[in-house]
Amino acid sequence: MDSQVNLQKQTSDVEDMVQIDCDIIIIAPIDTNGSIAAVNVCKDAGVPIICVNSGINSDYVSATIETDNYLAGVLMAQYMVQSTEGTVYVGMMEYNLNDAGRERSNGFLDTIADYDRIKIVARQECDTTTESAVSIAEDMMIAHPELNAFFSINDPTAYGIYSAAQGLNKENDILIVSCDGCADVLEWIRDGRIESTVTQLPWQMGQFAAKTALDLLRGLPYDQQILVAPHILTTENLHECEHYFSEDGFIWPDNESSR
């Protein structure tokens, strides 16, 4: 089931899964606290629940498998530092309703704290969609004409930022660093519309989630938390990473993940 980034629908979806007697539920939480309602549905029914991509603030969650999102933010900041000179005026498009979004922002902010030339001039919460990002980014660029870089919480948001910059004839003046690794991001990076993305490895997260679910149901030992290391994707390593995004890929070139 696809919650479509709708918290009420996600809770309703979990209720439906419990009603059809699912033995275990794997959830990609929308909101670290708001998704507790979905966990409580499982708790009341005695159904174990596993989180993927972000955690939920509940002791009932059996396991959490997610990207090392703090490291993702660090990699985004490092790329911005390495690929720029002079003063960089940054707009941040954030999503702080779940652990994943908060940790990306924290990793980015902690890293740029060592560089006086990287300055945050605007910060705005977004809903991670391309549509909402367009108007937010446009308002930021109008209010702060000096703005020349963006921290984008995910790739769909980065697409919206680029569209806003294009509408203001600033697409060649704005550096966008992003995080996700959506399949269509290859074309965006190849065309130079965004500079880089820190790509997650959702295939591996899915494998870990399935293995954890099987171990839990079989009464075998399992890890309660698994962190999967993200990787930076740029024009420089685009060619060697394209296979990962193909149907028969899903193995990153260096074949490394952290646990």
Bridge partners (DSSP) of residue 90 are 120, 149
**If residue 209 lies in a helix (H) or strand (E), which one and from where to where?**
helix 202-218
Residue 130 CA to residue 59 CA, distance in Å, equals 34
pLDDT at 187 over 90: no
For the beta carbon of residue 1, count every other beta carbon within 10 angstroms: 11
Closest CA to 173 of 151, 146, 154: 146
pLDDT at 1 over 90: yes
pLDDT at 191 over 50: yes
Considering only residues 258 and 41, tell me which one the structure prediction assigns the higher pLDDT. Answer: 41
Name the least confident of 22-26, 84-88, 200-204: 200-204
* Averaged pLDDT for residues 39-63: 95
* Averaged pLDDT for residues 138-166: 96
Residue 201 CA to residue 21 CA, distance in Å, equals 30
HSE value, Cβ hemisphere, 13 Å, CA-based, for 117:
10
pTM for this prediction = 0.82
pLDDT at 259 over 80: no
Residue 229 CA to residue 50 CA, distance in Å, equals 19
Segment 167-178, tens digit of pLDDT: 999 999 999 999
pLDDT at 241 over 80: no
Name the least confident of 72-81, 133-142, 190-199: 190-199
